[in-house]
Structure 1
């Protein structure tokens, strides 16, 4: 194999190889070329997204650590802080779904651990092709098993998430994992290597050949040959990870570490070079000292292996024996594999001989590609939409039941029942509500967290969809009563080398940035996953937002389920912007994904959401839900199912609003989506007080809680049991099986 074939096989372009020659002043050997290959991959180097990511706001009054470290960190109060981040494991999950999902969970946990925080909550955001295809069902089943199998065993509760199904994700599922960790502000750890002569210690499992060139694999499009690359997928051991967590936290507690970094994509190479570059130092790695579980491994294999459950630490020489003894006590490996040096290079040494050396700053500085942002022609086609072309339903009961039974709206109980969401006993609101709620023991404080994505909306209107994704997360946190404070994201897109892909990426980031600025929720961490394409084409552009909110008093929260007979149901911000364009109703009931959904009115979104949150914190309401996928009637059905109580529109004097101000089509009013509406329920004794609180915003009292049916005169009259039978069907392909009784929404 000649040199051009060699670097091409490693994923490097002709131009990138020429740049390496210029930086090095000589030809690199195979080991050095491998280091550049993984560090300059899209997965590690962010070559196509780095300039665009600068658009995100990342500063705020609660931000202690923004982008550039293993995770973002925000202050909660009383000396506590939250570290959190989201990452993707899409390509590994496409070829080895169980291990791909499991190691995605393990990797994001170690990112949080590297900040010195105890991981306390996991969430996910998943996308698959239609469940009518056997391959998609297999991927879905095994990914969920992998998330549960790892999270349950490692002892971190999986408290929330979301999932959708669309042909756009067939063959290229999205598996995004988020972790939140809790830490005292004064204990915050950074990954910067310092102190010439300090020891570099490898903690955790032995190194094998699993995951070699995983970062490069994650930066390629999926093809028929991708199945042959199962060896690029790591294998996880959650029990080893649990011991690694406890050991690292104890090492930090005893002040034995100078810095800490996880070994994820690109293994020792990424961890050591990033630590060296951020600290302005060099690191020598003595590869023969790296514990291995396989014989005959070459130095380059050891350096880029992505074997799991490993951390890299910098330790002062006089504390090494203590650190290694502690690692031994926890039953994990601890080995000195190198030293911090003053030369600025990542230097690989084997038995005293330097076998490769590259300036760490060169590895950490991948080339950047800025492309022209050109609007793709497909947007002209999908935006053509005339509601008059959509026939009005003859049987609204039938349409509602069809909506609720669709996999995109159906109960998620069959998923989250496989997860341990109460380990640690800090989960206040269980999976299924608008957001998960967690307490901070020993204080009145708590936090809420949600993940959200709107791929179809982003496909139809990239900028509007990006903003709407952030707005959805902001509403969800507000519906449980938490103050939204910051964002992590996972940007899942197709090829940036294609006009449509780059436009979608740039415009979604712009829309997200506008929303984050409007809401005061800076982006403090995140991940980019590009080249999500198969021979069927690219996925929907799917930026996923993980948003964290805080409670001063975690006992003041709300959930979606109706709680009392006789409560008055109130719609806030109702109706006037409802639209069927790009809605779930169009896709489910009419099998069309067309039209531009209403662009978010960010100022009004914030105003209404903040108002709902205020009502909850004041104790005026304890029932709230936003109107989102499926529109108002689906939201009401979800609230009825969550509480096991029906509602009757006849029980209030106000004429129910259907189709927006001035009347109109019933399906627009019932199934239209606008992003501004909330539904709350209030006891009658607080009704006057609520009216006073809502005097400056549009609202309608639309129904009264009671009975066992959902009744809208002349349009809908359906029993809770019928709703439950449709909504409760098992997502894992057992037709008609009901997977639970009353529950919160999914």
Structure 2
């Protein structure tokens, strides 16, 4: 770790002296790209983050959003029926809130896929705890190199195992997410994890210190040397020897301690013992404690020797910056400290009173193990008390917010030429449907416990998960993901499409969008074309979220995702939640009755197909323009949510990755097949283009559906269900016919390879 010369000059000017080694390391970590967002913060003002539902927006450990109440719906059970004692909840005057947070653990997951991914889960869960919430759901969006590469499979297997191990052990269900494979992630996979928490209004805690004289209490695991310099490590390109040389920067997780911390935090909040809280993540204790007091415009005095440690002879810098997991920093009123210690002991957690909040600087002192060994009574040779060394004495606000922002040049990435391949239709169908990107992800989500907590109404494997929030009779739908093929082909339009697709996923379950958090992943921002692509994904997400009236209430930025293999595609993961009355949702699979309609396909109405960003072009090495987007995306999403909740609707499925071919394959089952006719002179375009903002709807009232959608939204009747379990697609040129078992075998690509 080393502080850049230009940054050191600013620090010297502010302090009026050279920084101590501990101060220099603290500034280097907290002013890193990972913590200070020096290259991305100038762009993030593009997002709209306010709304009546937003209680706490960007800047805290997690965002807080108020849920609408649907108690009068009378459907407060997972199966949609009212049960005894579960009618309208008693109105105690408190609103029901959720927290939303997302973070990346990209570099650690390359170096150590199991612990890198596991500690990513632990970190975002603690962000949830620090707001006073109880974690109820996780969503993971994962990106790896090409699936047929042995190293990609090694990383994939390890990351999924790490997420499932940690999430299952702490009892938080993983209910949504995505998995994508792309050659440019080979040297730098991405692991993005989102968490949703639940709390009542009177439980809300923030990361803003409240009052000088309050104590700072560290609760959780003992501090070791793991994760040293993790924030700096996350702010540089991955080197060829990263898997061995950077392993000390990766934290080691203990999910059983995290589970104890979750339950202890619940008691602390219930007893109103916490004034403010911050989890220990990037930059460890130094980052958490300094940010906590800085947000309150205050300072702190911290005795580093009081931190409970698990390794001998740790020095001040190690205690400050180690990113040991399962630790929380609480602000506690003096009279409540003993009770906090009792609760920590009850849950077998370490507890240290490490200092107090002040109205001065952020000051850390240290005596050190050598001094303690020299004299048990901490006195010098002359019998006088040994003087402590002040290792940090800085203004907390300058430490947290003093980093200068980068003014980087940006160039627009090149636009692809039009070079559409020609491929046999049947071979193309089989290739696209069996691609690891579009194939079933059952191998992944069956390793996750998605039912713990008994709130999961719609489990993984559908367009969106739905959680039962019985406290207010609301169904909470969750969708998360990105599309590297889209944003590589067209960063601006692709990012817009990602936002629209996630909103469509919610609407397919009958939910309307409420709020979103984003995880913006990019390569080295010092490269103008890379930074230009990153800027475009920010603008694209911001534009579409604004058009859909979705406030972006928080997020995470991960840059320097470069390796010897080159930069990753710009990857804007978006996690969106939506709400609906009750917890029921239409199924994804077709049922024996009802006409099948394609809603929202602009290209189908004009026979003008664009295949840019499609899996079809990825499979057959071509390029094209990116598809056009609907002119009124919000009207489409609102209409689809209404249609999905209509009693005549039998099944709903969005059309996106892999196009209509994949959506039809996913809707078929052994019991119900599909007879489909595509009215198009370009069957490849009709089957494989990936314009977002489309859905397949099976309904017994086609006229009612047409009346419900906006005038500018095309609706085309394309087929009916059959009882033979066969998918038949009549294209005009030829008929594709596959039994549902054959389709399922095609879609089992990942499971077949890894088991």
Fold similarity call, TM over 0.5: yes
Alignment correspondent of 1:648: 675
The C-alpha deviation readout for 1:68-94, integer Å capped at 9, x for no partner, is 111111110342111011100000000
Other structure's SS at 2:553 match: strand
Alignment correspondent of 1:17: 8
- Kindly state the Cα deviation for residue 420 of structure 1 after the two structures are TM-superposed: 0.4
- 1:214–1:306: 8 Å Cα contact kept in structure 2? yes
- Kindly state the Cα deviation for residue 246 of structure 1 after the two structures are TM-superposed: 0.7
CA distance in 2, matches of 1:619, 1:370: 54
- 1:578–1:673: 8 Å Cα contact kept in structure 2? no
- 2:215–2:333: 8 Å Cα contact kept in structure 1? yes
- 2:138–2:173: 8 Å Cα contact kept in structure 1? yes
CA distance in 2, matches of 1:330, 1:386: 63
Are 1:597 and 2:626 an aligned pair? yes
CA distance in 2, matches of 1:704, 1:335: 66
Other structure's SS at 2:225 match: coil
Task: Using the TM superposition, name which of 606-615 and 405-414 deviates more.
Answer: 606-615
Other structure's SS at 1:470 match: helix
- Kindly state the Cα deviation for residue 154 of structure 1 after the two structures are TM-superposed: 0.5
The C-alpha deviation readout for 1:346-398, integer Å capped at 9, x for no partner, is 4334474322212111111142334355334x514xx21143xx22x33x333
- Kindly state the Cα deviation for residue 444 of structure 1 after the two structures are TM-superposed: 2.2
Are 1:536 and 2:561 an aligned pair? no
Alignment correspondent of 2:320: 303
In 2 relative to 1, CA 730–456 (structure 1 residues): closer, same or farther, beyond 3 Å? closer
Are 1:87 and 2:100 an aligned pair? no
Alignment correspondent of 2:443: 414
Runs (4 or more) in structure 1 with deviation over 4 Å come to: none
- Kindly state the Cα deviation for residue 535 of structure 1 after the two structures are TM-superposed: 1.2
Among 376, 397, 409, the alignment partner of 1:361 is: 397
Among 252, 256, 268, the alignment partner of 2:285 is: 268
- Kindly state the Cα deviation for residue 63 of structure 1 after the two structures are TM-superposed: 0.7
Other structure's SS at 2:501 match: helix
Alignment correspondent of 1:106: 122
Are 1:723 and 2:743 an aligned pair? yes
CA distance in 1, matches of 2:632, 2:598: 15
Alignment correspondent of 2:59: 68
The C-alpha deviation readout for 1:10-41, integer Å capped at 9, x for no partner, is 2x322111111111111011011011011011
Among 232, 236, 239, the alignment partner of 1:216 is: 232
- Kindly state the Cα deviation for residue 674 of structure 1 after the two structures are TM-superposed: 1.5
The C-alpha deviation readout for 1:298-356, integer Å capped at 9, x for no partner, is 01100001000000001111111111111111111111011111113243344743222
- Kindly state the Cα deviation for residue 599 of structure 1 after the two structures are TM-superposed: 4.2
User: Superposition pairs for residues 360-379 of structure 1, below 5 Å?
Assistant: 360-376=396-412, 379=414
- 2:597–2:716: 8 Å Cα contact kept in structure 1? yes
CA distance in 2, matches of 1:504, 1:691: 39
- 2:678–2:686: 8 Å Cα contact kept in structure 1? yes
The C-alpha deviation readout for 1:150-186, integer Å capped at 9, x for no partner, is 0000100000110010111002000001100011122
Other structure's SS at 1:54 match: helix
CA distance in 1, matches of 2:633, 2:418: 25
Alignment correspondent of 1:653: none
- 1:125–1:162: 8 Å Cα contact kept in structure 2? yes
Other structure's SS at 1:733 match: helix
CA distance in 2, matches of 1:708, 1:39: 58
CA distance in 1, matches of 2:193, 2:577: 14
In 2 relative to 1, CA 314–350 (structure 1 residues): closer, same or farther, beyond 3 Å? farther
Task: Using the TM superposition, name which of 129-138 and 111-120 deviates more.
Answer: 129-138
- Kindly state the Cα deviation for residue 629 of structure 1 after the two structures are TM-superposed: 1.0
The C-alpha deviation readout for 1:423-482, integer Å capped at 9, x for no partner, is 011000010101110001344212011112022221222211121111111111111111
Alignment correspondent of 2:298: 281
CA distance in 1, matches of 2:227, 2:486: 34
CA distance in 1, matches of 2:98, 2:621: 42
- 1:273–1:346: 8 Å Cα contact kept in structure 2? no
- 1:51–1:368: 8 Å Cα contact kept in structure 2? no
- 2:726–2:739: 8 Å Cα contact kept in structure 1? yes
Are 1:569 and 2:596 an aligned pair? yes
- Kindly state the Cα deviation for residue 627 of structure 1 after the two structures are TM-superposed: 1.1
The C-alpha deviation readout for 1:98-153, integer Å capped at 9, x for no partner, is 00000000000000111100000001000000122211111110000000010000
Alignment correspondent of 2:704: 689
Aligned pairs, number: 701
- 2:678–2:729: 8 Å Cα contact kept in structure 1? no
User: Superposition pairs for residues 475-514 of structure 1, below 5 Å?
Assistant: 475-514=504-543
Task: Using the TM superposition, name which of 700-709 and 240-249 deviates more.
Answer: 700-709
Among 667, 690, 693, the alignment partner of 1:673 is: 690
In 2 relative to 1, CA 695–607 (structure 1 residues): closer, same or farther, beyond 3 Å? closer
User: Superposition pairs for residues 427-442 of structure 1, below 5 Å?
Assistant: 427-442=456-471
- 2:180–2:483: 8 Å Cα contact kept in structure 1? no
Other structure's SS at 1:145 match: helix
- 2:590–2:651: 8 Å Cα contact kept in structure 1? yes
Other structure's SS at 1:224 match: coil
TM, length-normalised to structure 1: 0.91
Are 1:335 and 2:352 an aligned pair? yes
Are 1:638 and 2:666 an aligned pair? yes
Are 1:321 and 2:341 an aligned pair? no
CA distance in 2, matches of 1:732, 1:88: 29
CA distance in 2, matches of 1:340, 1:114: 18
The C-alpha deviation readout for 1:586-644, integer Å capped at 9, x for no partner, is 112x133x33312433x432222211101123333141111101111221111114x75
CA distance in 1, matches of 2:708, 2:213: 64
Among 627, 642, 654, the alignment partner of 1:614 is: 642
- 2:501–2:693: 8 Å Cα contact kept in structure 1? no
- 2:172–2:452: 8 Å Cα contact kept in structure 1? yes
Alignment correspondent of 1:6: none
User: Superposition pairs for residues 129-208 of structure 1, below 5 Å?
Assistant: 129-208=145-224
- 1:414–1:732: 8 Å Cα contact kept in structure 2? no
Alignment correspondent of 2:384: none
CA distance in 2, matches of 1:290, 1:732: 49
Alignment correspondent of 2:83: none
**Which ranges in structure 2 are unaligned for 5 or more consecutive residues?**
70-94, 369-387
Other structure's SS at 1:160 match: strand
Task: Using the TM superposition, name which of 707-716 and 125-134 deviates more.
Answer: 707-716
- Kindly state the Cα deviation for residue 507 of structure 1 after the two structures are TM-superposed: 1.3
In 2 relative to 1, CA 503–691 (structure 1 residues): closer, same or farther, beyond 3 Å? closer
Are 1:445 and 2:474 an aligned pair? yes
Other structure's SS at 1:277 match: helix
Among 652, 660, 665, the alignment partner of 1:624 is: 652
Alignment correspondent of 1:582: 613
CA distance in 2, matches of 1:467, 1:366: 33
The C-alpha deviation readout for 1:514-534, integer Å capped at 9, x for no partner, is 111100001111000000001
Alignment correspondent of 2:427: 398
Other structure's SS at 2:194 match: strand
- 1:137–1:732: 8 Å Cα contact kept in structure 2? no
